[in-house]
A and B are shown apart, each in its own frame.
Chain A
Amino acid sequence: GAVVSQHPSRVICKSGTSVKIECRSLDFQATTMFWYRQFPKQSLMLMATSNEGSKATYEQGVEKDKFLINHASLTLSTLTVTSAHPEDSSFYICSARNYNYEQYFGPGTRLTVT
């Protein structure tokens, strides 16, 4: 149990385009999902907290207009990187929290902006 999927696993896009990443909890309902970014050899950095049916809460320094988050259902949250630039290239990971406060991570999405 407690499986979280992400799609796509890898994406390459051109500078200036937008990319949407999906995060799904497959076998449990997640009222809260989290989006992280991780640069090589660094720990996870929380970008935003996504609550079903409400606006996401962004961490300090994260541009909400650039990283659009939608949490339309108890099993799906999406992150859209708008007008992507090479510095946005990173490993994006979502996690979903169950009612026991355990967080399970998706497999991650490696974004490369050329």
Chain B
Amino acid sequence: GQNIDQPTEMTATEGAIVQINCTYQTSGFNGLFWYQQHAGEAPTFLSYNVLDGLEEKGRFSSFLSRSKGYSYLLLKELQMKDSASYLCAVIYTGTASKLTFGTGTRLQVTL
């Protein structure tokens, strides 16, 4: 199968840093996406990783290790509006660019 695993829920404090992990099956890997989804809304694109390493975009960074089948999304200086679900999605070769989604991680930011 192509199981993509993420923690179901996480809680963090406003102003803190939180890391959301994602593991996936490495065979046929062709790229990994992170999306943010607020309740009742469609996902919004955060990042796309194809090569190993860390990519930083403002308060959000995404890391990929292809050999380990591992990625994380790092959120710094957490704000209340960051409370949302964070979806890890992988493209596998031979799937016509279909995204395979993890179950998503619901992040709750508290005061």
Contacts and interface: CB of A to CB of B under 8 A. Distances in A.
A97 B97 contact: yes
Interface residues of B, number: 20
Interface in A42-99: 42-44, 46, 49, 57, 91, 93, 95, 97
Given A44-B87, A101-B91, A32 B42 contact: no
A46 B91 CA distance: 13
A34 B98 contact: yes
Interface residues of A, number: 23
A75 B59 CA distance: 32
A2 B48 CA distance: 14
A43 B103 contact: yes
A92 to B, nearest CB: 10
Given A46-B98, A49-B98, A105 B43 contact: yes
Given A101-B91, A103-B33, A49 B96 contact: yes
Interface in B22-60: 31, 33, 35, 40-45, 48
A102 B45 contact: yes
Contact of A101 (B31, B42, B101, B104): B31
A28 interface: no
Interface of B: 31, 33, 35, 40-45, 48, 87, 91, 96-99, 101-104
